[in-house]
A and B are shown apart, each in its own frame.
Chain A
Amino acid sequence: MSITTAELGAKTALGPKREGPLVGLARMLGPDHRLGYLFILPTVVLVLALVAYPFCYAIYLSLTRKYVGVPPVFVGFDNYVKLTFDGFFQRAVINSFIFTFGSVAVKLVLGMVMALVLTSGIRFRSFWTGVLLIPWVAPTVVSALNFLWIFDYSLGVLNYMLVKVFHLLPQGVGWLSEPGTAMASVIGVNIWRGFPFFGISFLAGLRSIPVEMYEAAAVDGAGPLLRFRHVTLPGIRNILIIVMLLSTIWTFNDFQIVYILTKGGPGGATQVLPVFTYEIAFGAQRLGEAIAVALYMLPALAAVIIVLARYMRQGRSR
């Protein structure tokens, strides 16, 4: 059968038959593409069941008045409005920020020092790496209980050392009994526990920086500080951001250390949001309000994560 030029032109103008996105996907996945859906189904179900459903249900509960054993009653944003003007909640928010940023800042410095020392020509490097990881490896509950004893005024080892062994103080310090020292103590324990994570992450980052870069900088006349500023810091920039981000989230949600050491006392001086949530949930048994406390800071934390993630992406594309 012959075809005229006009017909050919018309067919060419129409072009090939257009494919939908699913057809294209099916072609890409091959003849067994239907099986692909089957394979990802468990993951989808798990994510929906273990992440999406509990999260959505928590949001719903935060909009209800919910007591233990009693069905929830929808109250809209009442819990959030009430919390906004609640002095105890406000104090918990302030305490949480002091606790989090106080801890993360010091962990950052200590972690960097740890990484720099471990990349220097120190002897028994592996041994020291292991020793410095102990706080991170030890269970938090065990560490916190040990510190509870260490900080005890009359029976604790810290006051004993300061007063009786080294004679640095005329009398012991009530580490957990005064607002200032109690906050400093819980921050101190969090730093002790968390700085190895910073250190070991930075260590991994430092080892990925080529030695030639340091050599080139040295040839250009850069001293140790300049090399640190212009070679080391840019080299571990992404790790630094990720570690700070993770640590901020973990520290903000840290419950065990504060609860075991002070239970939020004395007089609520170390009451941070996780302890406040716990108290509202299990002490007061107001579950809706407790979840509202837990979710209240979520937008702020999410914003920090988004900003940092965007910043990192920009850094990569540069």
Chain B
Amino acid sequence: MDSRLKDLAEKLDAGLIARREFLRRAAVVTGGTAVGLQTLSKMAGAQSQTKVRVWLFKSFVTAGNDVLEKQIQNWAKDRKVTAEIDWATFGDREQKFVAAIEAGNPPDIAEMQILGPMRYKAALRDVSKVAGDIAAARGGMLPFADRSMKLDGKYYGVPRYSMTTVFYIRKDIMGAKGLKPPTVYDPGVVEFAKKTQDVSKGLYGFGQTLNRSDDGNGFMQNILWNYGGGSWDKDGKPALATTFHDQNLKALQFAVDTITKHKIQPPGVMGWTDVSNNEAFMAGNLVTTNNGASLYYAMVAKKHELASKTLLVLTPGGPAGSFVGSSCYNWGIFQKSKYADLGEDMIRYLEDEERFAEYMKVSVGQAGPVYKKRTEDPYWKSDPNFTAIMQNIIRSVPTGYPGPVTPAAVEVYAQNTLTDMAGRVATAGLSPEAALKEAHARVEEIYKARRS
């Protein structure tokens, strides 16, 4: 308590002043203090620097995070501004964006995932000029990145790097059995897994959850494409149980069969989260799994004994080919920002080839290229395992394929529609046909809601 107020209170208790006098004097003291504080606050504000609020994605590749933060602080120092950096990772980034946008207080600039431009288009600034300049100087964007960033003819994100999924194989086990990497799931991965697994020792041939997770959603999306199906047709209309009914049914059946029929997956796989296969692979319980480069980074960074025994190959395919969706991390500038020019300047600074190379090299394969010229960087030939990462990125297709990237396609992915479909068959005893129709109804409902 303020000493003057305390003094007044004591006087009141002692009966030295009347209650009215106490209230009058107390009002003068508190009011005077409030006015003083406000004046001081204004004086402090007048002296402060321009503050640019930057939100970054906190990757599991911590060395990359450190380099990016350092580069942004160097830029801020160079431009004599303050960069206020905030981080968000897989589980909390979208919530932060939603809350900030709805509160009317988004950051000036943010590092977003591939779905960011579509999701937050209404709050984002058109960055076509800076995106075009950067892409032109680097031979253009890779097709999947271009399709994901460009909406209605305008760019709402400036691509930075791609994070993709590759197929991990224990090459020591593969070598011991005299096998070669499988190129298709059925029968390739199934036979490979059956020959290499040893259930009595807790070693399973394949580890791929169909549970609600990024890993599960990505796999289900890819496997539908591999069988020639998908959730959407080329016009962006629902196709799960209509146009691509037969293909999707076969794909769904295969996905579930890996657990229930072929028994090449660990029994608890339907309860896995995104980190479960990483842990199981590093614990030596899996021969193969699908994962991003972060697993390889973790093994290399920790000098894990399996790092040298791991082979990264292209994601296996199906009857229609091998398809994979990759993420495209990108920079977005929010409409509310008063420092859009500074934001563009920061993007140009960070995407400078030398600075990006520094970031890319510490990321051990996770910061894949999104521009054509960056695919030619000698770094991608420095480790044989990087070949698969590069090839998967180059052939990536965006969410909504073979149709356009639409809000409905983004929502179907985000609502775990495909993993729920698989889960209903694998764990709830629904027939694949019934699960497909149930999921299609969901896709139709989302499509209609988004169209309206």
Contacts and interface: CB of A to CB of B under 8 A. Distances in A.
A270 to B, nearest CB: 10
Interface stretch (A46-54, A122-130, A196-204, A278-286): A278-286
Interface string A137-176: 0000000000010011111000000000000000110111
The majority secondary structure among interface residues of chain A is: loop
A262 B424 CA distance: 14
Contacts of B146: none
A176 B120 CA distance: 34
B183 interface: no
A177 B273 CA distance: 11
B423 A269 contact: yes
A102 interface: no
A142 to B, nearest CB: 15
B120 A69 contact: yes
Nearest to A271: B420
Contact of B424 (A67, A178, A268, A279): A268
B36 interface: no
A65 B451 CA distance: 12
Given A69-B120, A87-B438, A88-B442, A283 B268 contact: no
B283 A285 contact: no
Interface in A207-227: none
A234 interface: no
A179 interface: yes
Nearest to B270: A177
Interface in A287-313: 287
A152 B211 CA distance: 14
Contacts of A44: none
Contacts of B449: 286
A121 to B, nearest CB: 44
Contact of A179 (B283, B415, B428): B428
B266 interface: yes
Given A68-B123, A174-B271, A279-B416, A268 B442 contact: no
B392 to A, nearest CB: 26
Contacts of A176: 268, 270-271
Nearest to A176: B271
A241 B375 CA distance: 67
B426 A267 contact: yes
The majority secondary structure among interface residues of chain B is: helix
A249 B119 CA distance: 33
A174 B209 CA distance: 13
Contact of B273 (A182, A263, A279, A286): A263
Interface in B103-135: 119-123
A261 B182 CA distance: 33
A69 B268 contact: no
A267 B446 contact: no
A174 B120 contact: no
A69 B101 contact: yes
Query: Which of A86, A266, A279, A282 is the most central at the interface, judged by chain B CB atoms within 10 Å of its CB?
Result: A266
Contacts of B98: 68, 281-282, 285, 287
A177 B269 contact: yes
A145 to B, nearest CB: 11
B428 A267 contact: yes
A268 B121 CA distance: 30
Contacts of A175: 268, 271
Nearest to A182: B271
Interface string B389-422: 0000000000000000000000100111001111
Given A87-B438, A152-B268, A265-B271, A68 B119 contact: yes
Contacts of A35: 23
Nearest to A35: B23
Given A154-B266, A263-B212, A283 B415 contact: yes
A70 interface: yes
Interface string A233-267: 00000000000000000000000000000111111
B285 A154 contact: yes
A148 B211 CA distance: 14
Given A154-B266, A283-B416, A177 B212 contact: no
A265 B452 contact: no
A174 B411 contact: no
Nearest to A283: B414
A19 interface: no
B268 A32 contact: no
A151 B23 contact: no
A154 B280 contact: yes
A142 B267 CA distance: 26
Given A70-B122, A263-B212, A283-B415, 15 more contacts: A68-B98, A68-B101, A68-B123, A153-B266, A153-B267, A154-B202, A174-B267, A177-B271, A177-B427, A265-B212, A265-B419, A266-B270, A266-B271, A267-B422, A285-B411
22 contacts: A32-B20, A65-B452, A68-B98, A69-B122, A152-B276, A154-B266, A155-B280, A174-B267, A177-B267, A177-B271, A178-B270, A179-B427, A182-B271, A262-B212, A265-B419, A265-B420, A266-B211, A266-B270, A266-B426, A267-B423, A267-B428, A269-B427
